[in-house]
Amino acid sequence: MHIINKKARFGYKLGEDKVEAGISLSGGEAKAVRTGHADLTQSVARVLNGEAYLINANIPVAGAKNYVSTRTRRLLLHKAEILSLSTKAKQQKLTFVPTRLYTKGHLIKLELALGKPKAKFEKKEATKRKDIQRELERELKV
């Protein structure tokens, strides 16, 4: 089971640094993730008070009435990893972007990448380049 954040590459310039982190979930959330019901598109990871948190990830639980599906979830990383990543992020003005959520055996893992947010004009240029490339490929086929 893999849940991929497809908007991560569109909205951020992702670097080569990727980290695997565990995630603290409730029972219903774990079941929802295993069945593929999670959305990482608007989510971001932050370091607060020396601990890493996943903010704004949408993991809905079936049948729950008083449940906030976008609550803040704790990420399970070693203190040294958190410290090194947060210093690198502060120095280079990067953010932690969750790229995929997957299972490893019976554990649920989150892959984080350091990335720099793209400006609006960079996103537009990227879509224009893709459209031009598609048109060229279409013309070559015909």
pLDDT digits (tens, 9 = 90+) for 91-115: 888 889 999 999 999 999 999 999 8
pLDDT class of 133 with cuts at 50, 70, 90: very high
Conformational region of residue 69, where left means phi above 0, alpha means psi within -120 to 50, and beta covers everything else: alpha
Grouping H, G, I as helix, E, B as strand and the rest as coil, residue 80 is helix
**Predicted local distance difference test score (pLDDT) of residue 118:** 83
pLDDT at 63: 77
Residue 76, both tokens? 């399970």
Helix (H, G, I), strand (E, B) or coil at 65: coil
Cβ neighbours of residue 15 under 8 Å, at least 6 residues apart?
94, 113, 114, 115, 116
> What is the reported pLDDT for 56?
92
| pLDDT at position 109 | 95
Cα–Cα distance between 41 and 28 in angstroms, integer? 20
Give residue-wise pLDDT tens across range 38-74: 999 989 999 999 899 999 999 998 877 788 888 999 9
User: Which residues have C-beta within 8 Å of that of residue 36, sequence separation ≥ 6?
Assistant: 1, 3
**In the chain, how many domains are there?**
1
* pLDDT at residue 64, rounded to an integer: 74
Residue range of the domain that includes 125 = 2-141
Q: Of the given ranges (32-36, 59-63, 109-113, 125-129), which has the lowest mean pLDDT?
A: 59-63
Average pLDDT, the chain: 89
**pLDDT on residue 117:** 84
In this predicted structure, what is the pLDDT of residue 20? 94
Rounded Cα distance, 103 and 54, in Å: 17
What CATH number should be reported for the domain holding residue 120? 2.40.280.10
pLDDT of residue 74: 95
